[in-house]
């Protein structure tokens, strides 16, 4: 079902994937108002939107872009936004997303990922939006054996508090469609990498540590397998689903780039001219899924989407980006940007 848009709500748009999506969307759709709602927790960084992109313009200088600091669980605040802007669609990126943090403190993940999603669905129901796109993850499927791939009909079997919260949000999106006719769709993507990813994640952590000649930690035996996709390829898929996806459908998004964690770590170190002596095996995380792999044939056939970058190209671009944007990640590590944005948006 194709859709004509005048304004969209992007939640979690100051995060890694959300900020990349906003950049891509504004570059391609110059007549659509984009409203970014983000709570600006530790991983939300408005500097990801203030730097100039391919167009030579920063997102926050674009008159079609508007930012609001707020919580998706705050129903009165969300309702006021819907009343002010009359959104045609919602793309829900907002989520606590780090597995390790979910093990240490699962409550926040339930509050944001489950209750926050329910709040958005309820307000979307009240205002009668045309499309609600829930951005999910391959982790809701659990862990694969040595062969096979996740399809959209694979049984959900999450193994961490994070993935359980995302699976719960997916089920809420399905329920609000079936019970209340909220026009929901779901995308589930493999591991993303690329510019503006928070430094605690695996690939940026490796790059940043290697730049500083620090140890590169690898969980367990390093044989866990992940299926990687460059973030802008994922954002192109989200755009395709938003405009042309079918209500009620789930779309898996991946790039068929399976690689063992230890193999990936050695590849990054080699490309950066660093010794493998920096590798350090650390205690494995509880419930660590062994292997992910996505079957993306549905979105490739139905919507004619395909990833544009090879894994080699994407890794080279990513390493170069972190080398060229040292100030960005150093400000995050030091915590400088958090204090700045807390003051700038206090009470908004």
Catalytic positions are 138-139, 162
Q: Nearest 10 degrees: CA dihedral of 334, 336, 338, 341?
A: -160
Q: How would you classify residue 238: left for phi > 0, otherwise alpha for psi between -120 and 50, otherwise beta?
A: alpha
Q: H-helix or E-strand containing 298?
A: helix 297-302
Q: How many whole angstroms from its chain centre is CA 217?
A: 23
Angle at 302 between CA 245 and CA 314, to 5 degrees: 90
DSSP 213: T
Q: Which two tokens stand for residue 14?
A: 């100051």
Torsion angles phi and psi, residue 13, rounded to 5? -75, -5
DSSP 298-346: HHHHHS-----S-HHHHHHHHHHHHHHTHHHHHHHHHTHHHHHHHHHTT
d(CA 200, CA 35): 27
Taking alpha carbons only, the member of 36, 15, 176 closest to residue 168 is 176
- DSSP alpha helices (H): ranges in 41-160? 47-50, 75-85, 99-104, 106-109, 117-127
CB 229 within 8 A of CB 288: no
Between β-strands 258-260 and 225-230, what pairing exists: parallel, antiparallel or unpaired? antiparallel
Taking alpha carbons only, the member of 205, 321, 174, 197 closest to residue 269 is 205
CB 250 within 8 A of CB 295: no
């Amino acid at each position: 079902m194709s859709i004509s848009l005048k304004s969209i709500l992007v939640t979690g748009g100051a995060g890694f994937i959300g900020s990349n999506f906003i950049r891509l969307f504004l570059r391609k759709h110059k007549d659509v108002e984009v409203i970014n709602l983000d709570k600006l927790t530790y991983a939300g960084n408005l500097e990801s939107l203030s730097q100039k992109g391919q167009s030579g313009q920063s997102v926050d200088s674009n008159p079609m872009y508007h930012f609001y600091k707020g919580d998706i669980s705050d129903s009165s605040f969300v309702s006021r936004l819907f009343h002010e802007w009359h959104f045609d669609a919602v793309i829900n990126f907002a989520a606590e997303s780090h597995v390790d943090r979910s093990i240490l403190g699962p409550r926040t993940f339930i509050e944001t990922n489950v209750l926050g999603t329910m709040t958005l669905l309820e307000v979307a129901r009240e205002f009668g939006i045309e499309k609600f796109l829930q951005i999910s993850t391959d982790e809701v499927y659990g862990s694969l054996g040595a062969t096979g791939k996740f399809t959209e009909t694979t049984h959900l079997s999450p193994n961490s508090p994070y993935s359980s919260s995302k699976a719960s949000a997916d089920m809420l999106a399905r329920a609000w469609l079936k019970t209340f006719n909220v026009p929901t769709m779901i995308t589930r993507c493999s591991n993303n990498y690329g510019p503006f990813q928070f430094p605690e994640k695996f690939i940026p952590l490796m790059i940043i540590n290697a730049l500083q000649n620090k140890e590169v930690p690898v969980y367990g035996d390093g044989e866990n397998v992940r299926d990687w996709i460059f973030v802008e390829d994922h954002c192109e898929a989200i755009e395709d689903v938003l405009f042309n996806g079918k209500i009620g459908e789930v779309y898996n998004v991946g790039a068929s780039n399976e690689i063992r964690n230890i193999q990936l770590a050695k590849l990054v170190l080699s490309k950066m001219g660093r010794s493998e002596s920096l590798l350090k095996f650390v205690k494995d995380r509880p419930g660590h899924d062994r292997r992910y792999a996505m079957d993306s044939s549905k979105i490739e056939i139905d919507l004619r989407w395909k990833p544009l970058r090879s894994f080699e190209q994407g890794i080279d671009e990513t390493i170069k980006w972190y080398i060229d944007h040292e100030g960005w990640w150093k400000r995050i590590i030091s915590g400088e940007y958090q204090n700045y944005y807390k003051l700038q948006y206090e009470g908004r």
